Amino acid sequence: MNVLKFGGTSVANAQNISLVIDIITKASQNKKLAIVVSAFGNTTNMLLKTAELAAVKDEYYRSLLQEIENRHMQVVKDLIPVTEQSAVISHTKRLLNYLETLYEGCFLLRELTPKTLATIASFGELLSSYIISEVMKVRQLDSNYKDSRELIITTESFENAQVEMKLTQENCQAFFEKNEKQIIILPGFIAATPNGETTTLGRGGSDYTAAIIASAVDADELQIWTDVSGMYTANPRIVKQATPIPHISYQEAMELSHFGAKVIYPPTIQPVLHKEIPILVKNTFSPEQEGTRITKNPQGKQQAVKGISYIENISLLTLEGSGMIGIPGFSKRLFETLLAEKINIILITQASSEHSICIGINDKEASRAKMALDETFAYEIALKKVDPILVEQQLAIIALVGENMKNHQGLSGKMFSMLGKNNVNIRAIAQGASEKNISAVINSEDAKKALNALHEEFFEEKIKQLNLFVTGVGNVGERFLAQLKQQHEYLREQLKLNIRVIGISNSRTMFFDEEGIDLDSWKDKLAKGDKASLDEFYETIKTHNLRNSIFIDITASHDVSKVYGDYLRNNISVVTCNKIACASEYENYQNLKRISQKYNAPFLFETNVGAGLPIIDTLKNVIASGDRVHKIQAVLSGSLNFVFNNFSNQNTFHDVVTQAQKEGYTEPDPKIDLSGVDVARKILILARESGYILELEDIENNSFLPQETLATENNEDFYASLTKHEAHFQQIFKEANDKDCRLKYVATFEDGKAKVGLQHIPSDHPFYNLEGSDNIVLFFTDRYVAQPLQIKGAGAGAEVTASGIFADVIRIGKF
Ligand code: ADP
Ligand code: ASP
Ligand code: MG
């Protein structure tokens, strides 16, 4: 005989029940079956909610009850032919009327005892099993109905009753021995006291009902049919990449379920374990999938870590004090107190100094536990031998599970370093001596991030996911997104990086999609997004709390440049082409670097100098290898280079600058380039990256712009001023041209000092032949003595700047 249990979603409506009947029909061809069913999905929650409302005299309970009634009647009407409906409807109605009477009682008495609550909760399974049993009859299956309350006998703790195993087994054996039907259907979750009063086996208890029956009748197999394709490496609703575990041991399944893998109710395994009855977890909606097989000794090569699970709503209680050291009895009294209060302990840790004991319990029980324990230790607290119990709430336990972990070194190291890398604060750690389980207590809000990060580490080693939040999607940003889209597959295949854009913003709107924004339609989505706000962008990213998050600044905004520190402190990396932060006060630049290190969040700005050219990265490597830069000579303005390469006595300065701006070679405010400020910022950043302490004001800037042009306050006035001073610019051109020199805006750093300005470059100089918008930088170092280290190439333009940002993102991916 096989025992098959169908959960709430599997029997949630007529359509699903039809699938269940198909599965039963097929399975009953060559085996006798006991079928255990849950209440129709969510009914138990509704029943309990209705009871709570009735007991506080909230009339709304009647509407909820009506909803419960309608749902069940609908299934009857959908699945029982009209000619046979009346008997089924009238029995269903009788059950519902009785339920209504119970609610009336609660309403009138304003009372809800555990006993009444259990009776009310039992109606979910009573109704579902009755209706499904009638559907089976209609489909002419050789089946009968049996009320589990006549078989499963429990103690009188009504909502979480303990099963009297011996009596229960005898009842089950006697019944099934006599049974001649091919299929018996029974309600899950419900049982009775020896006096016949209804009890329940705890939330999710239908699994347990099925296991008890399977064990009593020595079933060949226990099948748990649910809404996912087995027991997964992690909860598939939280970790999208989780996959079903093909084969797992009883012990492992038990650990996973105890630590939150709700797919199996924890007590379920115990009854079948001794008899070595295999458990199969299957998906009602995809019966062809293999599912998970739970046995004593899984065959084949087994992974060390089998799964990761977690429990929420945990409180940590700490008993601490110097008066505890070396004195026996403290833990005994602690545990006895909690036992007397019937408080379940989920996790225990004690440091070897015996200075403190820490226990994890359910949040709901925390204040009760604290009161009881403070009373137990009142004497010692008064003498200051121990402190009052410390309670920390809203925590979660995250656990790695696997029997084979004991044979592998370094797993906990990997676990904790992964959590550390993601800035997940660990409040307590527990590892059993059997090493089937390594648990960490963390903040609830970090649970999702921690689960995904650990899953990636232990199960997806090959693919790392990066989550991008891009602000400023103008010219460069647009190119950047296009490059990401184009390279997506390549990065996945070759670099094992899965890069997703989760949030985008421009100055008007912002848009988020946690599943990753479709890079074909981001413009439409952004246009219809929420109103842009720098604060909300930040808050939303924080709330998402995704691992490997990267904030990308592709603006030239002062305001955006001020928020990097906030991101870094939250372990969110920052990539920016905006130079403002790195060229601000040295203290701020240095502070951002410090925070970046402290919170393990890279802060990269390769595109601050020379757009996509690998200048800063090269410099970093030079310094890291112990070399020392003493002089830098560079042409660092793609825009000025473009302007002076194109300007002559055949055109006007105004027109050349206009063209440069149109082609994307200047900042939105071209004066920043033309005045030399942009070049000054760049040489400042290079000097700082070389290890020198320098401020922007220390840089000598010999601007070639007339004072009046420098004083303009908007682009229109700026351009008008260029036209007005055309003669001045022609004069500058003539002076250079007369000497056969070219004009280059050169930045120099030497002897701790930096300066920028226009220079006449003769034809034998390496800067002479610098074309278009190219940049060049020469590093004179201890090791590059005869010839400087040179980097040269396009130093401006949307496409190359975007690829520089791209390169920084990849660097973080490899971090
Ligand atoms: P049923 O109503 O069939 O008893 P449950 O809701 O009790 O179903 O259990 C199935 C659910 O368990 C899944 O939908 C999933 O959300 C959750 N779950 C949590 N952890 C795991 C895991 N490790 N593997 C599979 N499912 C899990
Ligand atoms: N219906 C019960 C519950 O929701 C039991 C179960 O579904 O396993 O808790
Ligand atoms: Mg369940």
Encoded tokens for 288: 């062809």
The pLDDT of residue 303 = 86
Angle, vertex CA 676, rays to CA 672 and CA 682, nearest 5: 90
Mean pLDDT score, 568-589 = 97
**CA nearest ligand 1 atom 11, residue:** 263
Please tell me the distance from the alpha carbon of residue 326 to that of residue 336, in angstroms, as a whole number: 19
Q: Which residues contact 431 (CB under 8 A, 6 or more apart)?
A: 412, 437, 438, 439
Residues with Cβ within 8 Å of residue 170, at least 6 apart in sequence: none
H or E segment to which residue 85 belongs: helix 82-109
- Between 422-431, 597-606, 611-620, 737-746, the lowest mean confidence (pLDDT) is in 422-431
Answer yes or no: is pLDDT of 773 > 90. no
pLDDT of residue 41: 95
With pLDDT > 70 as the criterion, what percentage of the chain qualifies? Answer: 99
Q: How many CB atoms neighbour CB 15 within 10 A? A: 10
Residue partners of 127: CB distance under 8 A and separation at least 6: 39, 40, 43, 72, 92, 95, 96
* DSSP label of 231: S
**pLDDT, tens only, 70-109:** 999 999 999 999 999 999 999 999 999 999 999 999 999 9
Cβ atoms of residues 223 and 181 within 8 Å: no
d(CA 802, CA 799): 5
Q: Is 204 in the pocket of ligand 1 (CB under 6 A)?
A: yes
Nearest CA to ligand 2 atom 6: 204
Q: Which residues on neighbouring strands pair with residue 200, listed in sequence order? A: 190
Is the pLDDT reported for residue 680 higher than 70? yes
Residue 628 has pLDDT above 90, yes or no: yes
Confidence of residue 157 (pLDDT cuts 50, 70, 90): confident
Mean pLDDT on 591-604: 96
377-414 pLDDT per residue, tens: 999 999 999 999 999 999 999 999 999 888 888 898 99
Closest atom of ligand 2 to CA, residue 202: 9
The label of the residue with tokens 């096989």 reads 2
- As a CATH number, domain 307-458 is 3.30.2130.10
Q: Could you identify the residue written with the tokens 């992974």?
A: 303
For the chain, the C-alpha Rg in angstroms (whole number) is 36
Tens of pLDDT, residues 437-447: 999 999 999 99
**Domain 615-795 listed as CATH 3.40.50.720:** no
Q: Is 401 left (phi over 0), alpha (psi -120 to 50) or beta?
A: beta
Q: How many residues does the chain have?
A: 815
Contact 266, 240 (CB under 8 A): no
CA of 237 to the centre of ligand 1 (A): 9
Could you tell me if 323 and 377 are in contact, meaning their C-beta atoms sit under 8 angstroms apart? no
Q: Which residues neighbour 550 within 8 Å (Cβ) at sequence distance 6 or greater? A: 466, 467, 468, 469, 572, 573, 574, 575, 809, 812
CATH classification code of 2-226: 3.40.1160.10
The distance in angstroms from the start CA to the end CA of the chain is 55
Q: Which residues line ligand 2 (CB under 6 A)?
A: 7-8, 38-39, 44, 124, 188-189, 203-207
Q: What is the pLDDT of residue 324?
A: 81
Average pLDDT of 235-248? 94
Whether residue 462 has pLDDT greater than 80: no
pLDDT score of 777: 96
Parallel, antiparallel, or unpaired for β 221-226 and 603-604? Answer: unpaired
* Alpha carbon distance 461, 634 (integer Å): 43
Indicate whether 327 pLDDT > 80: no
Position 352 scores a pLDDT of: 64
Token pair listed for 147: 């009320």
Catalytic residue among 146, 682, 744, 792: 682
Q: Which of 40, 127, 33, 139 lies closest to 89 in space, CA to CA? A: 127
Question: Above 90 in pLDDT, residue 505?
Answer: yes
Please tell me the distance from the alpha carbon of residue 673 to that of residue 37, in angstroms, as a whole number: 74
pLDDT tier for residue 170 given thresholds of 50, 70 and 90:
very high
Of 141, 148, 63, residue with least CA distance to 103: 63
Amino acid at 49: K
Judge if the beta carbon of residue 38 lies within 6 A of ligand 1: yes
Residue 93 a catalytic site member: no
Query: Nearest 5°: CA angle at 460, between 803 and 805?
Result: 10
Q: Tell which CATH classification among 3.40.50.1370, 1.10.760.10, 1.10.3720.10, 3.40.50.720 matches the domain 464-608.
A: 3.40.50.720
Q: Is the predicted pLDDT of residue 325 greater than 80, yes or no? A: no
The whole-angstrom separation of Cα 480 and Cα 555 is: 13
- ∠ Cα 361 367 373 (to 5°): 80
pLDDT more than 90, % of the chain: 87
pLDDT at 356 over 90: no
Residue 261 CB less than 6 A away from ligand 1:
yes
- What is the residue type of 394? Q
Query: Which of 13, 207, 226 should be mutated for ligand 1, with most atoms under 8 A from CB?
Result: 226
Task: Say whether 559 sits in a helix, a strand or coil.
Answer: helix
* Closest to 146 (Cα-Cα) out of 41, 195, 45, 217: 217
Cβ 802 vs Cβ 480: under 8 Å: yes
189 CA to centre of ligand 2 in angstroms: 6
Closest ligand to C-alpha of residue 7 is 1
Distance, CA 206 to ligand 3 centroid (Å)?
7
pLDDT of residue 461 exceeding 70: no
Tokens (6 digits) for 772: 């278009």
Please, what sign has the CA dihedral across residues 284, 287, 289, 290?
Answer: positive
pLDDT tier at 326, thresholds 50, 70, 90: confident
Domain ranges of the chain: 2-226, 307-458, 464-608, 615-795
Lowest mean pLDDT among 212-221, 321-330, 511-520, 730-739: 321-330
Mutate which of 228, 258, 268, 290 to test ligand 1's pocket (most atoms within 8 Å of Cβ)? 228
Q: What is the DSSP letter of 11?
A: G
DSSP label at residue 539: H
Beta bridge partners of 317: 359, 391
10-47 pLDDT per residue, tens: 999 999 999 999 999 999 999 999 999 999 999 999 99
The Cα–Cα gap between 440 and 398 comes to 5
Q: Are 238 and 307 in contact (CB under 8 A)?
A: no
CA–CA gap between residue 744 and residue 736 (Å, rounded): 10
Cα dihedral 38, 41, 43, 46 sign? positive
Q: Are 676 and 692 in contact (CB under 8 A)?
A: no
Residue-level pLDDT at 533: 96
Of residues 547, 574, 546, the one with CA closest to residue 560 = 574
CB 46 within 8 A of CB 121: no
Structure confidence at residue 329 as a pLDDT band (50, 70, 90): confident
